[in-house]
């Protein structure tokens, strides 16, 4: 059979649906059980190309390679931090767009076994334009496809990283806290979540996935119906509309009260606790007045406050709240009865916050960046 020329990039194996793959295989006279073999093989941690799926006939491996992409990521530059416990990748896609993902390992502690969290991007860039965020500063590139979202997870799953083990054991979590506003790309993000959930693929439980949003209310309501077991985090960052209009400009469309109401609907309908994220900016949103406003917003429903020390972007007009200020803020919230944690500052030395490494590498090829990093790495 002659292959028709295909315009544009080939479909990604990570996003092909089982029925289409079954039809493609049937057209080649392959038995139905090959669907599971192909999908299972492509999601095995040791596989890095179709050639390595050695339980498939060679002719089929070749045909797969001509018809599908094993990954939508064409190149990655990875740097490590925190003594190897954090690694950050800038990934280049077929059209040259760049996105980021971060791997964070947490060692076993007490009764808790080792855990890993992967932070992934949902868009190349972001249109929300939060002034403290490097991604927001760079503007919007384009939406990511479901395959481009899943392939960030597969990047860490596959050689040479093999960092994830078996998702079914529930030792790793996925957070949509990389580049982009996931609920401004809801259809593709929801499809990516379904692919990540699929037991024929990675089989990551919905409860191990968190979507973080700047407050896209219709998307939050869709999550109640379509992804009720996925965790929701809301990037609040201010308790009043006047301050939030500045820090999270989408607030002009969906103000604080509407965002909190949507969070309450989610918590009420799903029974799941919603996390309110709050970046701590020195002398801006860390005042007693904001703390009291935050207490009002968090009271009376299943919410949890997560404070994040600001990781200042280059040229930022703001700095992070000093530790003493964070402690004071936390005390005031806890005295008011709120459930509060402070997020650790993983990967600070490698600019692991949203979009920062991408900004640093702008205008350089990933290969050059890799070579420069190798030159400056300490001899081992
Ligand atoms: N767009 C979504 C998800 C990606 S941003 C959202 O805003 O929720 C993920 C988290 O990183 C958000 O809570 C965001 O406010 C935070 N963030 C962005 N820039 C940061 C910085 N410079 N320092 C600390 N946190 C930052
Ligand atoms: Fe976009 Fe989130 Fe960055 Fe705001 S913080 S610009 S919503 S990625």
- Residue pLDDT, tens place only, 213-227: 999 999 999 999 999
Q: Record the pTM.
A: 0.92
Q: What is the mean pLDDT of residues 288-312?
A: 95
- Residue pLDDT, tens place only, 110-164: 877 778 889 999 999 999 999 999 998 889 999 999 999 999 999 999 988 888 7
CA of 298 from ligand 2 middle (Å) equals: 22
Nearest-atom index, ligand 1, CA of 234: 8
Q: What is residue 380's predicted lDDT score, i.e. its pLDDT?
A: 36
Residue 30: CB within 6 Å of ligand 1? Answer: no
Q: What is residue 163's predicted lDDT score, i.e. its pLDDT?
A: 80
Average pLDDT value for the chain:
89
Residue 181: CB within 6 Å of ligand 1? Answer: yes
Q: What percent of the chain has pLDDT over 90?
A: 74
Q: What is residue 378's predicted lDDT score, i.e. its pLDDT?
A: 45
For ligand 1, mutation pick of 127, 134, 177, 275 (most atoms within 8 Å of CB): 177
Identify which of 6-10, 168-172, 231-235, 341-345 has the greatest average pLDDT: 231-235
- Residue pLDDT, tens place only, 53-75: 999 999 999 999 999 999 999 99
Ligand showing the shortest atom-to-Cα distance for residue 250? 2
As a three-state string, the secondary structure of the chain is CCCCCCCCCCCECCCCCHHHHHHHHHHCCCCCCHHHHHHHHHCCCCCCCHHHCCCCCHHHHHHHHHHCECCCEEEEEEEEEHHHCEEEEEEEECCCCEEEEEEEEECCECCECCEEEEECCCEEECCCCCCCCHHHHHCEEEECCHHHHHHHHHHHHCCCCCCCCCHHHCCEEEEECCCCCHHHCHHHHHHHHHHHHCCCCCCCCHHHEEEEECCCHHHHHHHHHHCCCCEEEEECCCCCHHHHHHHCHHHHCCCHHHHHHHHHHHHHHHCCCEEEEEEEECCCCCCHHHHHHHHHHHCCCCEEEEEEECCCCCCCCCCECCHHHHHHHHHHHHHCCCCEEECCCCCHHHCCCCCHHHHHCCCCCHHHHHHHHHHHCCCC
Gyration radius of the chain's alpha carbons: 22
Active site residue 100: yes
Q: Quick check: 39 and 21 in contact, CB under 8 A?
A: yes
Nearest-atom index, ligand 1, CA of 133: 19
Kindly report which listed range (13-17, 85-89, 218-222, 337-341) carries the lowest average pLDDT score: 85-89
Other Cβ atoms within 10 Å of 226 Cβ, number: 14
Q: What is the mean pLDDT of residues 168-173?
A: 73
Q: What is the mean pLDDT of residues 31-42?
A: 96
Q: What percent of the chain has pLDDT over 70?
A: 88
Task: Report residue 296's pLDDT band, with 50, 70 and 90 as the boundaries.
Answer: very high
Return the residue matching tokens 């530059």.
77
Residue 129: CB within 6 Å of ligand 2? Answer: yes
């Amino acid at each position: 059979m002659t292959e028709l020329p295909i315009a544009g990039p080939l479909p990604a194996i990570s996003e092909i649906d089982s029925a289409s793959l079954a039809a493609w295989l049937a057209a080649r006279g392959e038995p139905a059980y090959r669907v599971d073999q192909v999908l299972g093989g492509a999601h095995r941690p040791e596989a890095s190309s179709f050639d390595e799926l050695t339980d498939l006939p060679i002719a089929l491996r070749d045909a797969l390679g001509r018809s599908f992409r094993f990954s939508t990521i064409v190149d990655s530059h990875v740097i490590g931090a925190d003594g190897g416990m954090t690694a950050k990748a800038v990934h280049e896609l077929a059209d040259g767009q760049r996105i980021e993902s971060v791997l964070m390992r947490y060692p076993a502690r007490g009764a808790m076994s080792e855990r890993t969290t992967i932070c992934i991007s949902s868009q190349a860039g972001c249109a929300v334009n939060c002034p403290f965020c490097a991604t927001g500063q760079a503007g919007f590139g384009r939406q990511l496809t479901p395959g481009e979202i899943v392939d960030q997870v597969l990047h860490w799953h596959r050689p040479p990283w093999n960092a994830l083990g078996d998702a079914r054991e529930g030792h790793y979590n996925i957070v949509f806290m990389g580049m982009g506003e996931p609920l401004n790309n809801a259809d593709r993000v929801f499809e990516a979540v379904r692919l990540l959930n699929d037991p024929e693929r990675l089989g990551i439980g919905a409860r191990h996935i968190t979507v973080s949003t700047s407050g896209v209310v219709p998307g939050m309501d869709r999550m109640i119906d379509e992804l009720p077991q996925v965790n929701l985090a809301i990037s609040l960052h201010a308790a009043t509309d006047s301050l939030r209009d500045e820090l999270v400009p989408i607030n002009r469309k969906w103000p604080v009260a509407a965002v909190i109401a949507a969070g309450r609907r989610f918590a009420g309908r799903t029974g799941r606790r919603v996390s309110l994220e709050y970046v701590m900016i020195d002398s801006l949103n860390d005042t007693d007045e904001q703390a009291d406003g935050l207490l009002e917003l968090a009271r009376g429903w299943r919410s949890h406050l997560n404070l994040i020390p600001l990781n200042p972007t280059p040229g930022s007009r703001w700095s992070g709240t000093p530790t003493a200020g964070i402690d004071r803020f936390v005390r005031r919230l806890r005295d008011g009865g709120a459930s509060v944690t402070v997020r650790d500052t993983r990967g600070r030395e490698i600019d692991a916050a949203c979009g920062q490494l991408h900004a640093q590498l702008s205008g350089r090829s990933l290969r050059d960046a890799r070579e420069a990093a190798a030159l400056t790495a300490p001899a081992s």
